[in-house]
Amino acid sequence: MNGKKLLGILGGMGPEATVYFFKKIVEFTEAERDQEHIPIMIYNYPQIPDRVCAYVGCGESPLRELINGVKKLQSAGADIIAIPCNSAHLWLKEIQENTNLEILNMIELTVSSIKQASKVGLLATTLTVNSGLYETPLRKKGIEVLLPDNQEFVMEQIRLIKRGQVIEAKKNLLKIVDNFIDDGASHILAGCTEIPLALNNNKLQIPLIDPMDALATECIIRLGGRLKKDLNKRLEI
């Protein structure tokens, strides 16, 4: 490792989102050769129990597997942990209590990165919406949060994305985005890591806040990498 710190990524929630996050880190890094990228170890474990089902009481808690995943990364030599899954952060306190490694908080990083938004339309899982995972800190910051009229319809689109039916989900999500814009939203917050897989490459009328941007940026900084020179301007929110 030549003295460099190792980033451990606890992934699989879902696998496509994990790949997307890893690509973001590579894309955001200023590097002219392989050796200038940060060392990363990914534990992609899709068998972690469904977070939404656990929250509503129809499935087992993911906590044990989340802790096991972090411990595997710790045993393998990771120095810092990143979890590119919004809903998993509901158990972050309990996970952190079971490791002496720092686990980066994607929710806090995202909220602190928002400088210009006044009214945000939140697209997220039912767990993230009902728990106030984003809504509570955003409101404390003076940012109004808009929620979809039909949260189950949003969940249907997240399931479509997980099944690989991204085009159909994108079409439906854009309808919700249009409703948010009609209600005065200044930004859209992708509070589920599947959402950017459908909306990220689409030119929206208002900016999309992708929490994985803030997490990827923090990972690069903390692991001693260099951010691309124009990154702050590109991610300005």
Domains of the chain: 7-107+213-234 (3.40.50.1860), 111-211 (3.40.50.1860)
Q: Would you state the pLDDT for residue 201? A: 64
- Report how far residue 207's alpha carbon sits from residue 120's, in angstroms, rounded to the nearest whole number: 10
CA distance 14 to 160: 12
CA-based diameter of the chain, in Å?
53
Residues with Cβ < 8 Å from 180, sequence gap 6 or more? 121, 146, 188
| Number of residues written out for the chain | 237
Q: What residue ranges in the chain does DSSP mark as E strands? A: 7-11, 40-44, 80-82, 102-103, 119-123, 144-146, 187-190, 208-209
Catalytic (active-site) positions: 85, 192
pLDDT greater at residue 59 or residue 141: 141
**Mean pLDDT, rounded, for 157-169:** 96
* pTM, to two decimals: 0.94
Does residue 97 register a pLDDT over 70? yes
Whole-number Cα distances in Å, 16 to 25, 68, 144, 192, 199:
15, 21, 30, 12, 14
68 in Cβ contact with 62 (< 8 Å): no
